[in-house]
Amino acid sequence: MEDDNDLREIYADVLRDEGWEVTTASDGLEAFELLEGGLTPCVAVLDLRMPRMDGWEFADRLRQSEEWRSLPFVIVAAHVRVADVANHIGARWWLQKPVSIDHLVSVIGEACASNPVTQ
């Protein structure tokens, strides 16, 4: 999830080029609606600051859901203490903006590999 259209499409294009199927959402509410509609991703990529439902609220809703509790997620943020924030909300992975494409691909691969549901 990324509310910046250009960044969202860049991330999606890079990940598609690496062979992943990618579904995008502009905020947490749209992403949660996709999950409830049957989407089964190997990972969720969350921007922290988004309209309607931000990354913190999305992470909270994941953890409250029996079905989605184990879905790994990656925090992407410009926040100077993104590692601390990611740790606080339970994200094992995080990326500091501006995001290195190589690091994005590596982290997404690691997060997807850790998801027992999609293995």
**String of DSSP letters for 37-99:** TT---S-EEEESS-SSS-HHHHHHHHHH-TTTTT--EEEEE--TTHHHHHHHHT-SEEEESSP
Q: Is residue 11 included in any domain, yes or no?
A: yes
Q: What percent of the chain has pLDDT over 70?
A: 94
Q: Is residue 119 included in any domain, yes or no?
A: no
Q: Is residue 118 included in any domain, yes or no?
A: no
Q: Is residue 29 included in any domain, yes or no?
A: yes
Its domain, for residue 84, covers 5-113
pLDDT given at position 20:
94
The CA distances from residue 75 to 37, 38, 85, 97, in Å, are 23, 22, 9, 10
Q: Is residue 89 included in any domain, yes or no?
A: yes
pLDDT given at position 85:
84
| Radius of gyration of the CA atoms of the chain, in A | 13
pLDDT given at position 53:
82
Residue 89, domain CATH: 3.40.50.2300
How many CB atoms sit inside 10 A of residue 118's CB?
13
**CB–CB of 90/70 below 8 Å?**
no
pLDDT given at position 52:
85
Residues of the chain with pLDDT under 50: none
User: Cβ neighbours of residue 101 under 8 Å, at least 6 residues apart?
Assistant: 14
Domain count for the chain: 1
